[in-house]
Amino acid sequence: MSWTRGFLAALAVCVLLLAGPAGCGTGDAHEQKQGASPSPVGKLLDHTDEEGRRYREVDGEGAPAVRVEVQPATGGAWDVRLHLRHFRFSPPGAKAEAVAGRGTALLLVDGRPVAELRTPSHRLTADRLPHGTHQVTVRLYADDDTVWAVHGDPVESTAAITASGAETAPSVSVQGAPVRMWGRGSPDPGGEAS
């Protein structure tokens, strides 16, 4: 009888060892295969943007980056183009969570929000940029509405443009820290930072 109990106990241990990894667990391995991160991305800071959205600090290496280019278009409109690195736009309806290198961009004119962007191009109508000098800023956000930040600064790029009504030779300059842009940051004659 002792031999039978020992055999059954050994058999039960073998079954548990074989079935354990396949039948037990929290599902973390399955979630990671589908691209979900079980741990938070970056570190939330106490800093906020103008609308109270907190900054999410990430390491500089591999961090999202944006460079904005603004060019005159027909009818007094302006074409805004984003050049992105280590960042992709989330589709509408994406889950409200921070995922590394993913989210939306907020387009601001003179510090006021104009549009949430999910594509790298946008057209500003002439009424958005009346005669005068304006700051066109693009800032990157995670899907949970936190601001992507590096070294405590938001990941953004700003172009200063002057709308004169005859937009054949615009005055365009690009500003921003090297962390948020790449290249020298000074515009070439076409108004694009190099």
The confidence score (pLDDT) of residue 152 equals: 96
Where does the chain show beta strands of DSSP type E?
43-48, 54-57, 65-72, 78-85, 88-89, 102-109, 112-117, 121-124, 132-141, 147-150, 153-154, 156-163, 171-175
Interval 5-46: pLDDT, tens: 554 455 454 444 444 444 444 444 433 444 444 447 999 999
Question: pLDDT higher for 73 or 16?
Answer: 73
The rounded percent of the chain whose pLDDT value lies above 90 is 58
The confidence score (pLDDT) of residue 40 equals: 76
Is residue 74's pLDDT more than 80? yes
Helix (H) or strand (E) run with residue 30 in it: helix 28-33
Average pLDDT over residues 122-137: 93
Within 10 angstroms of residue 67's Cβ, the number of other Cβ atoms is: 22
Q: How far apart are CA 139 and CA 115, in angstroms?
A: 11
Give the contacts of 76 (CB within 8 A, at least 6 positions apart): 125, 126, 129, 163, 165, 167
- Mean pLDDT, the chain, rounded, equals 77
In this prediction, residue 4 has a pLDDT band, given cuts at 50, 70 and 90, of low
The confidence score (pLDDT) of residue 78 equals: 95
Interval 148-172: pLDDT, tens: 999 999 999 999 999 886 544 444 4
Is residue 3's pLDDT more than 70? no
Contact 106, 139 (CB under 8 A): yes
Is residue 113's pLDDT more than 90? yes
Q: How far apart are CA 137 and CA 148, in angstroms?
A: 14
Q: How far is CA 158 from CA 3, 68, 101, 134, in A?
A: 79, 7, 20, 10
Q: How far apart are CA 62 and CA 64, in angstroms?
A: 7
Interval 142-154: pLDDT, tens: 999 999 999 999 9
pTM, entire model? 0.68
Sheet holding 78-85, edge to edge: 65-72, 78-85, 121-124
